[in-house]
Amino acid sequence: MVVGDFEDQDSPGADAIEALKMDRSICLAGRVTSGMARFYAAMDVLALPTYREGFPVTVMEAASMGLPVVATRVPGCVDAVQDGVTGTLVPARDAEALADALGRYLLDQELRREHGAAGRARMMRDFGQAEMWAEVHAQYERLLQGSGSGGVAVCQ
C-alpha cells in the first residue's frame, strides 16, 4: 500500500508509477487527508523511505497504532524512530537495506510485535496530549521568567 502523492522533485518516474498502477498487488491510495487510522490498521509495518523530513507525524501516528517503523537515517526520522527499539533506520537511497529491514519485520512476528509495542509505549509516555500541553506551558513559563520584564514584548 502506498499512501500519499509522489513528489515532483523525487518522483520515481513515469514508467515506475505506471508499473505500480498496473500491479494488482499494490494499492495506491493517493493523498489521504483524514481517516489514516484505517490504513495503519491494515499495515504490518510502516516504511518511510524519505530523503528529507521534519519530525514525521506519520511515524508518531503509526507508532501510536503499535506499528514498527522502517525509516531512513535522515534528520527528523532519527529523532522519531529509536533504531532497534521502535523500528529500524536504514541509509537513505539504499533500496537493499530498506527491503532487508522490511523483510525482517514481515518474517519475524515477534520482532514486529516487540518494536510496535515499544513504539506505542513511547508515544503514550512522551507524546500524549497532556504531556505536550504541559511542555508547551513550561516553555512559555521559562520564556516569561527570562524576559526580565515579566512579559514577552510581541510588538514594539
- Closest CA relative to residue 40, chosen from 60, 61, 24, 26: 61
Average confidence (pLDDT) over 93-110? 98
Average confidence (pLDDT) over 53-81? 96
pLDDT digits (tens, 9 = 90+) for 11-38: 889 999 999 999 999 999 999 999 999 9
Supply the pLDDT for residue 27: 94
- Closest CA relative to residue 123, chosen from 45, 49, 68: 68
This model's pTM is above 0.85: no
Does some domain include residue 97? Answer: yes
Does some domain include residue 153? Answer: no
Could you give the number of structural domains in the chain?
2
Residues in CB range of 79: below 8 A, 6 or more apart: 55
Burial class (CB in 10 A: 0-12, 13-18, 19+), 120: middle
CATH of the domain at 72: 3.40.50.2000
Does some domain include residue 118? Answer: yes
Does some domain include residue 87? Answer: yes
Range(s) of the domain holding residue 18: 1-33
pLDDT band at 136 (very low <50, low <70, confident <90, very high): confident
